[in-house]
Amino acid sequence: MDFLKSTVGKVLSAALALAVVAGAISWWRMDESVRHDLVAGTGKVIGWLLGVLLWPWATFFVIGRVAKMESNLAGGLLVFGYTLLEGIILLWLFGWSLPGPTAWTFATIGTLFAGVYNLLSCDWIAEKAA
């Protein structure tokens, strides 16, 4: 069994090293404008993600009020509203246009992630607030 772990570890390490080298070469050979677009897009996504992660915790008082209503509809509307707002902000960050199917896929997955995160975090905060 140790042989398998050792072999698998070596293969994974080699694959990771190859990916890092390939990424470095791709970055070095990339046009300056493409590199700038990648860095700018990555910064926007990271900023949006941080906003998504912090929003429920920054609005805990709203979640507490909704939890005291003891209404699933109110809680669902709150989570839907948070997710809709975060999806709109994501589209706004990219100038209201996503250039292709890959961008639409990532935006959809990001919004779904935001929805699931909002559901779980709002539920947890509501349990503690009630």
Which amino acid is present at 19?
A
Domain that holds residue 107: 32-129
Residue 63 sits in the same domain as residue 113: yes
Residue 46 sits in the same domain as residue 79: yes
Calpha distance 62→121 (Å, rounded): 13
Residue 68 sits in the same domain as residue 98: yes
Calpha distance 46→33 (Å, rounded): 20
The pLDDT > 90 percentage for the chain reads 58
pLDDT of residue 4: 58
Calpha distance 94→65 (Å, rounded): 33
What average pLDDT does this structure show over 7-21?
87
Residue 11 sits in the same domain as residue 37: no
Residue 117 sits in the same domain as residue 69: yes
For residue 126, is pLDDT > 80?
Answer: yes
Q: What would the pLDDT profile of 65-99 be if each residue is shown by its tens digit?
A: 999 998 999 999 999 999 999 999 999 988 888 88
Residue 23 sits in the same domain as residue 40: no
The model's pTM:
0.74
Residue 24 sits in the same domain as residue 57: no
pLDDT of residue 29: 85
Q: How distant, in Å, are the alpha carbons of 57, 78, 93 from that of 40?
A: 27, 31, 10
Domain count, the chain: 2
Residue 61 sits in the same domain as residue 25: no
Residue 26 sits in the same domain as residue 37: no
Q: What would the pLDDT profile of 32-55 be if each residue is shown by its tens digit?
A: 888 887 788 888 889 999 999 999
Residue 73 sits in the same domain as residue 104: yes
Residue 115 sits in the same domain as residue 79: yes
Residues recorded for the chain: 130
